[in-house]
Amino acid sequence: MANNYVGDILELQDLEKINYAQGIKENPSEYSALVNQRVSQILDESYTRKRASFQKAIVDMGRYMDMEHNAANFKTRSADVKRLQDVIETNNNTLKNSSLADLDNSRRQFEINEYYYYNKLETLFFLQLFFIATLSMAVIFHLQRTGLLSSKFAGYITLILMGVVVITGLYRYFYTKRTRDTRLWHRRKFDDPEVIPDSPLVCDANGKVSVDLDKLSNGTVGCAMSAAEETAKKFEEINAKITNHALRYQMTGQVPPPDENSFNPFAKCRR
């Protein structure tokens, strides 16, 4: 029943539309007014829609332009900040390097001044010792001339004083030349410690022991090389002897005698 009502209603609506269209066609003025009204309505809607779209596009374009300008300004400010930071970092590095250079120069100048001061002080000590010994010898010569000291005793004392001066001078010279450090006055130079070669034995992860030929001593390597050369020569001699025995056996049928001589190429390497 409900479906019949719906069909009847649709038919009534269609009939009403047909009657309305026929009534409009019978009255040309109303038809023209309706057409003009619909055209004006469509034009207004199109104009409104286009205007709204245009305004939206203008607003979006303005926003995009503002974003682009802001991004460009941010990029420019970031580049300026980076250049400023680079300049500050360069200046700081320059100041740091200058400070380190000044510190090294000051430390080295202090070492030079200390070395020069103690060198002059030791030279002054030697000159004072030489002056005291010379003055003492002058006193001894005077006492010898006056007869208070014998010539032999005065010669002994003079020899002792000269020996002290000479030994002190030689000790200072050789100690400064060979033992004293050339950079610091209160530092001694020591001989380089004896370098103990690494063991040629190498253990892998499995615990297997192998020999590293690069760490062997020259004597071991030379012994192995000479043993290899001697082995090669002996092999050539044995090969030639076997060839001669084979030819002799083929020609005469003579069996070669057994060779009881043993060959050990590493015999010379035994200690």
The domain limits of the chain are 2-89, 107-179, 201-269
Confidence of residue 149 (pLDDT cuts 50, 70, 90): confident
Q: How far apart are CA 187 and CA 118, in angstroms?
A: 12
Q: Are 118 and 136 in contact (CB under 8 A)?
A: no
* Lowest-confidence pick of 58-62, 148-152, 258-262: 258-262
Question: Which pLDDT score is estimated for 70?
Answer: 86
Whether the predicted pLDDT of 192 surpasses 60: yes
Q: How far apart are CA 149 and CA 264, in angstroms?
A: 83
Count the residues in the chain. Answer: 271
Question: Which pLDDT score is estimated for 256?
Answer: 62
* Lowest-confidence pick of 23-27, 69-73, 216-220: 216-220
Whether the predicted pLDDT of 75 surpasses 90: no
Whether the predicted pLDDT of 227 surpasses 80: no
What does residue 256 show for φ and ψ, rounded to 5 degrees? -70, 145
Residue bearing tokens 């003079």: 158
Q: Are 141 and 154 in contact (CB under 8 A)?
A: yes
Q: Are 116 and 137 in contact (CB under 8 A)?
A: no
Question: Which pLDDT score is estimated for 36?
Answer: 76
Mean of pLDDT values over 230-254:
72
User: In Å, how far are 20, 74, 87 from 83, measured between CA atoms?
Assistant: 81, 14, 6
Mean of pLDDT values over 209-222:
56
User: Could you report the per-residue pLDDT of 100-128, keeping only the tens digit for each?
Assistant: 999 999 999 999 999 999 999 999 999 99
Q: How far apart are CA 16 and CA 8, in angstroms?
A: 12
Q: How far apart are CA 200 and CA 197, in angstroms?
A: 9
